Each structure stands twice: as C-alpha cells, then as structure tokens.
Structure 1
Amino acid sequence: MTSTTSTRTEDFTAALNLPASPETVSALFTSAAGVSRWWGPTEGDGAVGGTLVTSFGEHGVNAMRVLEAGPTRVVWESIAPDGTTPTGHTQEWLGTTMEFDIVATDTGTELRFRHAGLTPQLECWDDCFAGWTYFMASIEAFARTGTGTPFGV
C-alpha cells in the first residue's frame, strides 16, 4: 500500500486569453483608473515606487506598492499603510506579490496572473480564491465588452 501526501503549496494562478491589445491590458494594472475598471475604486500612483489603494467599502482596503510597471510585466507587493483600514485578509497577504505578465498573441493578449504567497495553507484561501476568480472574470469582461465588474458596481 502506498500513501501520497499533498502539500498544497501552489500559489494562486490564472491565465486569460483576452481579445484586447497588450497596451489595453497593461493599462488595467498601471494606473488607479485602470485598476478601478476591474477590481474596485482605486486611488494612488501606478508607477514604480507608487502605492495603489483599492477600497472594498466596509470591508476595508487593499494597498499595493508598485514594484514593476512595465508594458509586459506589472508586480505589486501587498502592504498595510498607516491611516488605512485593511481588509480582513491583509495580514495574510502582507509581503505577498501579485504578478501580471502580459504577452501579445495572434488574437490579442495572454494575461498570466500569479499571486505569489497566496497558497491553500492560508486561512483566506477559499475566500481569496473565489475573489480572484471573480476579478479575473471582471478583467475578461472588460477586455470583451469595455466594462468590468469591479467591487461596488
């Protein structure tokens, strides 16, 4: 008899084939206006070194320090700035990174998303998995129709 053990250590990842140009897709992650179109009302600076703060109403905010903001790769680090009320999962997200790789294809763009550090061991995994799945669909809706489904809409 053999036994197998699952470590369940994989980061959350998603890959989307989007009918939009790489420039259009990149713009969703490099400005507060872009992030607001798919995630939620966002303020701040999407340039490298800037901070983007997305509001989830009574649930608090997610804040991200922008580590990379290029046309083919955007990377954010989850932070908890003073003076904000973080969402309930922020403690588990601190120090994790959200990576958006943007690859041109014959039909538009492939978006490869990885939330490095968001793994099934975290208490928020089920809620965060459902949330990211919803917001990946919001990105896809925006690419297809010009309108996403961000929080608060």
Structure 2
Amino acid sequence: MTDTTIAGDFTAVLDLPAAPEDLIALFTSPEGVSRWWGPTTGDGKIGGVLVISFGEHGQNAVRVLQTDPGRVVWEPVVADGSTPTGHTHEWLGTTIEVEVRAAGEGAQLHFRHRGLTPKLACWDDCVAGWNHFMASISSLLRTGSGHPYGS
C-alpha cells in the first residue's frame, strides 16, 4: 500500500476506494486537509496558503502552487504569524506533489515530498509522520475516519 523510497525523496503510492475527484478534494481545501493531516486554516486555491496546526509543536504551512483535477503541488513556507514546527526549516525549498489517477473501481494516489531525502536531519521523524498520514488518508477513505493530528 505505501512505498517509501529510502534512497531518494519520500514517496508513497496508495490504491484507494474513492473517486479521483473525491481524493484530490482532500488536498484542495482546509476542510479536506483537516480530515487527514491536522486542523487546517487558510486558502486551498492557487497562491493561497494552508496552515496545519500541530498544537504545542507549531504549524506547517504550504503555499498552493498548482491545483488541477489530478494534481496538486504545495511549497512549504513559513506563514506570517505562525510558529513553525521544528522541521519547517528543512522543508523550505522542497515541494509536496500529489497525483491522482483512476485505477480499477477507485483511485491511485502518488504522493511525493520532493527534496525530503535521507540527508535531512528530520528524515526518520518525517518518514514516520508521512507514513502515519498516508495511513490516515487510507483509513479516512475506507472507514470514514482518518487519524489527523489531534484526533
């Protein structure tokens, strides 16, 4: 279900029981992101910034660079007035890329955090985190309940 590339960027591929448009919607609005990653505010349109809260650990923020019917690209940023998480500085200069394709009776999610590689100090923690949140997406689409931060 999840395939992490140890030699390069973090990647995951999930086969999910959802229509492609329902899956991509999880990445294009604060409400969608809140269902699998964590409490989110902001704007999911191109040029907008989504801010994901991790309580006392701070916030991750991403600027939306692209939203197409089958592709979303985010750029991690430091949002004005936010308290960045401990790994935010390592995420600057990376991109988070999501591609969704119809597959069988559902959809296949191709997730890539380009630039998140083993050379970064946060690698182990970030891989564990992304694996948790990929499982959260899977759970959300299979059971109706994800495992976002704070749930």
Count of aligned pairs between the two proteins: 146
Gaps of 5+ in 1: 1-7
Q: Distance in 1 between matches of 2:37 and 2:81?
A: 21
| TM-score for both structures, normalised by structure 1 | 0.93
Q: Which runs of 5+ in 2 are unaligned?
A: 1-5
**Contact 1:9–1:121 (CA under 8 A) maintained in structure 2:** no
2:127 is matched with 129
Within 5 Å, which residues of 2 pair with 1:35-50?
A: 35-50=33-48
Normalised by the length of structure 2, the TM-score is 0.95
Counterparts of 2:69 and 2:140, CA distance in 1: 18
Once the two structures are TM-superposed, the CA of residue 49 in structure 1 deviates from its matched residue by: 0.6
Q: Could you say what secondary structure the match of 2:41 adopts?
A: strand
CA deviations 1:67-122 (Å, max 9, x no partner) are 01111000000001221100000000012100000001112000000000000000
Task: Give distance in 2, aligned partners of 1:35 and 1:83.
Answer: 20
- Residue type of the partner of 2:8? E
Residues of 1 paired with 2:85 and 2:95: CA distance?
Answer: 16
Residue 9 of structure 1 deviates from its aligned partner by 4.9
For the Cα contact (< 8 Å) 2:49–2:79, is it kept in 1? no
Q: Which residue is 2:146 aligned to?
A: 148
* Runs of 4+ displaced beyond 3 Å: none
Q: 1:5 — aligned with what?
A: none
1:62 CA drift (Å): 0.3
Structure-1 separation of matches of 2:100 and 2:33:
15
Alignment of 1:20-59 (within 5 A): 20-59=18-57
Q: Counterparts in 2 of 1:2-151, with a 5 A limit?
A: 9-151=7-149
Between the aligned residues of both structures, percent identity stands at 64
Quote the Cα distance in structure 1 between the aligned partners of 2:131 and 2:138: 11
